[in-house]
Amino acid sequence: MEFKIWPWELDMKPYWTNPENGVEWYIDESTTQYANKTNANGNPPLNAMCFLVVENIDGKRNPATRVLISKETNEVLLDDTSLEGMGVKIDLLRFSNSF
């Protein structure tokens, strides 16, 4: 049985592809939703969007990192190579923004 978990396996198109190096940016819907909600401790949501950045070399895709970008300033707020690491960083950022 083959599990399809990556956006390209689900026939999703990249949000943006860098024409210079072929790096693809996919919207990470679940992490974006997680960042944009108030958590169980009442810490405020982040107005941000998460992307999965993928290297595409010779047709083989390699997830490189996740990047959280502010919707207000377009600045990179966080990046991490693991889903769990990104979740922890989102929680820490929400906590620090609550003061």
Q: Tell me the whole-structure pTM to 2 decimals.
A: 0.91
Q: pLDDT for 6-63, tens place per residue? A: 999 999 999 999 999 999 999 999 999 999 998 888 889 999 999 999 999 888 999 9
Q: Give the span between the Cα atoms of 15 and 26, in whole angstroms.
A: 5
What is the pLDDT, as a whole number, of residue 67? 98
What is the pLDDT, as a whole number, of residue 41? 82
Q: Is the pLDDT of residue 93 over 90?
A: yes
Residue among 77, 58, 79, 61 nearest 69 (CA): 77
- Sequence length of the chain is 99
Q: Give the span between the Cα atoms of 22 and 60, in whole angstroms.
A: 11
